[in-house]
Structure 1
Amino acid sequence: MSSPSPSPSPPVQKKQPYPFWLGGVAATIAASITHPLDLTKVRLQASGDKRMIESIKKTYRTAGARGLFDGISGTWMRQMSYSLCRFWAYDESKKLIGAGKDAPAWKLAAAGSMAGGIAGFVGNPGEIVMVRLQGDFAKPPEKRFNYKHCFDALFRMVREEGVSSLARGVGPNVFRAILMNASQLASYDFFKAELLKTPYFDDNIMCHFTASFAAGTVATTVCSPADVIKSRIMNASGPGSSSTLGVIRASLKNEGALFMFKGWVPAWTRLQPTTILIFLTLEQLKNGVDLSRRHGYTWV
């Protein structure tokens, strides 16, 4: 008499992908918290302010605590266009080139570069709106745009400067986005994977914090030159003032090569907590999605 054959093991269910908008939500939360530092960085790059603390004091003295959140609607527009797109495109690019869990750094950087190119183009209008709203108060009253909010800025740009104004600075912005995603997103994945190979880290908040701290420092240094040039071009308003080469020549002549790292400290001070907050928030949002799905909420 033959023994009964063992019952087949249940098939392993493939894990569902996370919602594409998680990265955009995480970035919006992080950018809202660090907005005063981002505002200071833009004003240092585009105005005559010299030091971060003095610039913050000047903003507080002239506009109060509310002034530290000037242009917050532009920040939200930028994050829900550029950042949402870059996280989605990064995940899709990793699938396209086969960059799995233990992918080499060059594959992660390639996926980040592809995502940056797409997101930099898609998010360019939001980037311009954010920079103009943040930099407006640092200008003399007669040179200000005086936009009410992000949508007012968008509509007035099209009406007063033409649709082509939405592409102002798109070259350096796409270049910066490529650098940012190749350094920030790829660095985070790389450092996280390397940390998990050691006996000192598990896949928890300490690992996420350490990997994001390293990624933020790498990203700030790599992106600083393109970030400065982008801010100066986007904040310009006169005819012929949007030429990338023109801005570089004028800046080199007046300030020397170190102009490319002007505002590095506030950029690092802003990007470091922003990077940490983005990835910590994103990991917690993913945990929340996993928890919801375990309880049967399949819409997330």
Structure 2
Amino acid sequence: MINLNEKMSTIKPFIFGGLASLTAEFGTFPLDTTKTRLQVQGQHKDVMCFNSKYRGMTHALLRISQEEGVSALYKGIAPALLRQASYGTLKIGLYHYLKRLMVERPQDETIYTNVVAGVISGAVSSSIANPTDLLKVRMQSGTDQSYSQRTSVVRFFKQIYSEEGIRGLYRGVGPTAQRAAVVAGVLLPSYDYFKKAILDYGLMADNISTHFCASFLAGIIGTAASNPIDVIKSRMMNQTVLRQAAHLYSGSIDCFVTTLRTEGARALYKGFFPAYFRIGPWNIIFFITYEKLKDLF
């Protein structure tokens, strides 16, 4: 018979991961909106996204607020929170569960085991949550006003499903899963590594300062590894069969090649600073919240 404490130790990462993800998502969502707008602009195949309206993160924040209102920075917040309730919960819970499957004791963990656990948990959880991620991107991009004028997430789902089918809800699932696998496979092990290093070298105690530094450093590495995939993901999700510019890209590889050919390699790092200023604070809020929940319960 499984001990109750063992059951709770398995369940807690799922619960704490979900709660911490929701907290971090709401606190940094405007930065995610600016990142998405910067990533989808400049596409030569799409007349609606060809012009580069925004010169950078600050300019995008100000212009979106002035032209569309501050509320526009939170377009897509409902599916984003829904996504984190599913994706964030599964990602962290699976990560810790898989680590314990591979090694029984935390002190026996290695970079290899943690990377494997992160890659699998990121890919599986993001694939399940893909429809909510797609809704978030469509609402944030502002290129299809019919989506952003509705208020019900359920109506969004129904609209996309009726006009694009089940494949429409899973548009971009390939790059989404790839990105999540890279992010989770790099970011989660990086945080564990930096936290352990700080504690092992006696630089700081196991407190909020350690959690802040470890998550800050992990955020830099995670952003650098994931940004090219994130650009492809945003562009794949933003295309829709309803517009004249439908089927901009036949797949993620075509999107990658076309972006390189028409805009150059720098385009793969469009939105890098907003992405970091999104991932960095997101991770700091997430890990500090997660660690606090662990201490409290």
Does residue 86 of the first structure (1) align with residue 94 of the second (2)? no
Q: How many residues align?
A: 274
Paired residues of 2:138 and 2:147 also in contact (CA < 8 A): no
**Do structure 1's residue 164 and structure 2's residue 167 form an aligned pair?**
yes
TM-superposition CA deviations, 1:143-191 (whole Å, max 9, x none): 7664424322112111111112121111111110100101111111111
Contact 1:90/1:115, CA 8 A, preserved across alignment: yes
Residue 15 of structure 1: how far off its partner (Å): 9.1
Q: Which residue of 1 aligns with 2:81?
A: 76
In structure 2, the gaps of 5 or more residues are 42-51
The counterpart of 1:240, out of the listed 240, 247, 262, is 247
Which residue of the partner structure matches residue 55 of structure 2? 50
Q: CA deviation at 1:65?
A: 2.1
Between the aligned partners of 1:177 and 1:161, the Cα distance in structure 2 is: 24
Conserved 8 A contact 1:108-1:182: yes
Q: Given that residues 239 and 247 in structure 2 are in contact (C-alpha distance below 8 angstroms), is that contact kept between their aligned partners in structure 1?
A: no
> Out of 27, 30, 36, which is 2:30 matched to?
36
**RMSD, aligned CA:** 1.9
Normalised by the length of structure 2, the TM-score is 0.87
Shift of 1:71: 1.5
Asked if residue 107 in structure 1 is aligned to residue 113 in structure 2, the reply is: yes
**Deviation per residue, 1:99-140 (Å, 9 max, x gap):** 74232212111110111121121111111111111112xx27
Asked if the contact 2:17–2:93 (Cα under 8 Å) also holds between the matched residues in 1, the reply is yes
Amino acid at match of 1:126: T
Aligned equivalents of 1:15 and 1:250: distance in 2? 49
TM-score of the aligned structures, taking structure 1 as reference length: 0.86
Greater helix fraction, Structure 1 or Structure 2:
2
Task: Give the equivalent residue in structure 1 for 2:216.
Answer: 213
Query: Does structure 2 conserve the Cα–Cα contact (< 8 Å) formed by 1:23 and 1:84?
Result: yes
Q: How does 1:204-283 map to 2 (within 5 A)?
A: 204-238=207-241, 239-242=246-249, 243-283=251-291
Question: What's 1:181 paired with?
Answer: 184
Q: In structure 1, how many angstroms separate the alpha carbons of the residues matched to 2:120 and 2:157?
A: 27
Work out whether residues 139 and 147 of structure 2, in 8 Å CA contact, stay in contact via their aligned partners in 1: no
**Superposed counterparts of 1:97-136, under 5 Å:** 97-98=102-103, 100-102=105-107, 103-136=109-142
AA paired with 2:216? F
Separation in 2, partners of 1:267, 1:67: 18
The answer to whether the 8 Å contact 1:74/1:149 transfers is no
**Greater Rg by CA:** 1
CA distance in 1, matches of 2:230, 2:90: 19
User: Is contact 1:108-1:190 (8 Å) kept?
Assistant: no
The alignment-based identity, stated in percent, is 32
In 2, are the aligned partners of 1:99 and 1:107 still within 8 Å (CA)? no
Match of 1:6 in 2: none
Distance 1:123 1:107 in 2: 24
Give 1:74 deviation, angstroms: 1.8
Deviation by residue 1:208-232 (Cα, 9 ceiling, x = unmatched)? 1111111111100010011000000
Q: Who is 1:63 aligned against?
A: 68
Q: Is the 8 A contact 1:45 1:263 kept in 2?
A: yes
Q: Contact 1:28–1:76 at 8 Å: present in 2 too?
A: yes
Structure 1's consecutive aligned runs of 4 or more residues displaced over 3 angstroms after TM superposition are 13-16, 143-147
- Given the superposition, is the C-alpha separation of residues 119 and 229 from structure 1 closer, same or farther in structure 2, using an over 3 Å criterion? same
Q: Label 1:69 to 1:55 Cα distance change in 2 as closer, same or farther (>3 A).
A: same
Counterparts of residues 10-29 of structure 1 (less than 5 Å): 16-17=8-9, 18-19=11-12, 20-29=14-23
- In structure 1, the gaps of 5 or more residues are 1-12, 290-300
